[in-house]
Amino acid sequence: MKITEREYRLRLESTILSEADKAQIKPHPLWHIVLFPLVYIGSMFVGVMVAALATGLLLGGEGVISSLADAEYDVLLSLFTTLFPIGGAIAYVRFVERRSMASMGFVRRGWLRHYGKGFGAGIAMCAVALLIVLAMGGMEYTAATTAPQMGLWLLTLVGFMVQGMSEEVMLRGYLTVSLANRMPVWLAVALSSVLFAFLHGSNAGLTPLSLVNLVLFGIFAALLMLRYDNIWGIGALHSAWNFCQGNIFGVAVSGSDAGVTLLNFNTLEGVPAWIGGGGFGLEASVATTIVFGTLIVWLLRKDNLKQSEISPRNAETLETKQ
């Protein structure tokens, strides 16, 4: 497999990619047609079974959980069961491909700092997208929620912290990196991003533009993970983006109602979905296209990799390993 000089530098300087190259097993990309659904669906099945067994205990006592309505409980259940795909992806990577946690982006040094910055960036991105929609006349602010259930709100925050990280571990830490072991990085990023959009294909209010935006987010997420060489930042950003939409601004999260919110913004009647987002939420608006597209361009231009001297022999060595 021939690679460009830029990709050679990326593989040389990236801890994630260099650690992944040490994997004892590197499945052919076509194998992931079987492996990825097996890991994802199998993990979710285990999660649902565990949740079903725990439901009676959780709803039988007193406190926040026992007082929830069915819809509120369903939201929390859907969020926290995504913990199991995290475990499934880690188990697959460690015991099947036999590569390190570092190859998934789980670095120890500075992880909390990366997580904090990512979370702040996710809130900022969501706020900018909303401001663009408001400027275009796509939404209006209605009111703040009076006396919100703060216990439920905080529990939902924790749930989104799990859910956002889960998708990043599965799609980026596992799939993108595994594919990149057997194909150019740009192609691995593209394929995993298309799959990311496909996984949201049954969500309510889906539009062609929302699919484009989901692909753009997948590209952005993979680039961010590789650019900063860890999964903490993008996992936090993903969580904050979703939580901010549904539980701070009160708009749909990929077509779903996230429950208790602090504020309420509604799409104006008669406004096209490509402006206001419609039933899918901000991710169906051109405002999100602008935000994600701008950040992708910024990441592609911001190259702070060391300008390592590359000899033909080194390039041939890496090519042979691929």
**What is the average per-residue pLDDT within 188-214?**
96
Give the rounded percent of residues in the chain with a pLDDT score beyond 70.
Answer: 88
**Average pLDDT of the residues in 265-293:** 96
Residues 6+ apart with CB under 8 A from 37: none
What integer pLDDT is reported at residue 317 of this predicted model?
A: 45
pLDDT interval class at 11 (50, 70, 90) = confident
Average pLDDT over residues 303-312: 42
Which tens digits make up the pLDDT trace of 155-165?
999 999 999 99
Q: Would the pLDDT of 37 be above 80?
A: yes
Please state the rounded mean pLDDT for residues 193-205.
Answer: 95
| 107 conformational bin, left if phi > 0, alpha if psi -120 to 50, beta if neither | beta
Does 125 score more than 90 pLDDT?
yes
228: CB partners within 8 A, 6+ apart: 114
Residues 133 and 139: beta-carbon distance below 8 Å: yes
Give the integer Cα–Cα distance in Å for 265 and 7: 43
According to the model, what pLDDT value does residue 228 have?
95
pTM for the predicted model, two decimal places: 0.90
Concatenated DSSP letters of 213-269 = HHHHHHHHHHHHHHHHT-SHHHHHHHHHHHHIIIIIS---BTTB-----SEEEEEPT
- How many other C-beta atoms are found inside a 10 Å radius of the C-beta of residue 88? 24
**DSSP three-state, residue 174:** helix
Q: State both tokens at 180.
A: 């990149």
> What phi and psi, each to the nearest 5 degrees, are found at residue 33?
-60, -30
SS3 68: coil
Query: Domain map of the chain by residue range?
Result: 5-321
Q: In the prediction, which pLDDT does 56 show?
A: 63
Per-chain mean pLDDT for the chain: 89
